[in-house]
Amino acid sequence: MIFSSELIKGTLKTILLKLLADNQKMYGYEITQRVKELTAGRIQLTEGALYPTLHALEEEGLVTTEVEYMGKRVRKYYRLSDTGMTRKDEKVNEFADFVATMKILLDIEVKPA
Amino acid sequence: MIFSSELIKGTLKTILLKLLADNQKMYGYEITQRVKELTAGRIQLTEGALYPTLHALEEEGLVTTEVEYMGKRVRKYYRLSDTGMTRKDEKVNEFADFVATMKILLDIEVKPA
DNA sequence: CAAAGATACATAAGACTTCGATGTATCAAA
DNA sequence: TTTGATACATCGAAGTCTTATGTATCTTTG
């Protein structure tokens, strides 16, 4: 099952911040692949959603960027800033609380990871 | 903490379907109050979001409506259809799977309800 | 008894986010 | 050499939610 995009809405930034917190630096394409891999294909980030969001994180000062050349190919790395790290914690905690609340509303059991 | 609206995005229909599945029939204002109560105020549905969504559910054939008068006051009750019940199960399951996936991505523990 | 607050419906314009399509270009493998 | 993967990115369209607004009734309180 691939999750409906509506569900992923609102969690994209959180996912990106968490990935960058765990991996020092990542580039766009790498992120799409990592997410696909970690979720067994259930979440597939589209570039149309990913790049605008990465740029927004940069504008907010949550990530910094650095360009590297692999041969002639450009690779733009994104790295979490200190503010970004703080924001990541906030976002992840907020999501955990949200899920706890939704469990009450929907009366669901969440399978352990 | 009131959850950022981004988080609630994509879950509103699921919440409504579940509430209606548990309560035979409910009216709009009642729904906003019930959700507020069940979530200790953390999720506050606005009418601008609620009514369009209820109308959409009706157009999709997932709910039926009936009008009652309390004195001179109109109350519009929403009731789940059979299709709506099926859709509710699908949506709730999808959300549960989504949360399981997000747990892996975000490496979180979800507190029991 | 008047005013305020709660109950109850609803719409509409604007903002924001995401999707799907499109574009460019390099590299590797068949 | 051509296909598929890698890698960046933007843009118009679509969808959803927010804020504001509108109408009207009922209840409580000063």
**Tens-place pLDDT, residues B34-68:** 999 999 999 999 999 999 999 999 999 999 999 99
CB atoms within 10 A of CB A97: 16
pLDDT of residue A113 exceeding 70, the answer is no
Q: Could you say which residues from 32 to 91 on chain B have a Cβ atom under 8 Å away from some Cβ of chain A?
A: 35, 38-39, 42-43
Q: Contacts by A59-67 with C-beta closer than 8 Å and gap 24+?
A: A62/A17, A62/A87, A63/A20, A66/A25
Chains A & B: contacts with CB separation below 8 Å: 120
Q: Which residue type, as a one-letter code, is found at position A73? A: R
Structural domains present in chain A: 5-106 (1.10.10.10)
**Most A-contacting residue of B5, B92, B93, B98 (CB-CB within 10 A), to test interface:** B98
Mean pLDDT of chain B: 90
Would residue B64 be called left, alpha or beta, if left means φ above 0 and alpha means ψ between -120 and 50 degrees?
beta
pLDDT tens, position by position, B93-105: 999 999 999 999 9
Closest to A102 (Cα-Cα) out of B11, B2, B104, B93: B11
pLDDT band at B6 (very low <50, low <70, confident <90, very high): confident
Mean pLDDT of chain A: 90
In whole angstroms, what is the distance from residue B96 CA to residue B94 CA? Answer: 5
Note the pLDDT of residue B71: 82
Q: Are B85 and A98 in contact (CB under 8 A)?
A: no
**Any residues with CB less than 8 A from the CB of A26 and at least 6 apart, and which?**
A19, A20, A34, A77, A78
**Any residues with CB less than 8 A from the CB of B31 and at least 6 apart, and which?**
B16, B19, B45, B50
pLDDT of residue B1 exceeding 80, the answer is no
Closest to B54 (Cα-Cα) out of B94, B5, B15: B15
In whole angstroms, what is the distance from residue A49 CA to residue A52 CA? Answer: 6
Closest residue in A to B10 (Cα–Cα): A6
In whole angstroms, what is the distance from residue B71 CA to residue A71 CA? Answer: 78
Q: Any CB–CB contact under 8 A between B2 and chain A?
A: no
Q: Could you say which residues from 9 to 28 on chain A have a Cβ atom under 8 Å away from some Cβ of chain B?
A: 9-11, 14-15, 18-19
DSSP A16-84: HHHHHHHHSEEEHHHHHHHHHHHTTTS----HHHHHHHHHHHHHTTSEEEEEEEETTEEEEEEEE-HHH
Closest to B84 (Cα-Cα) out of B108, B66, B59: B59
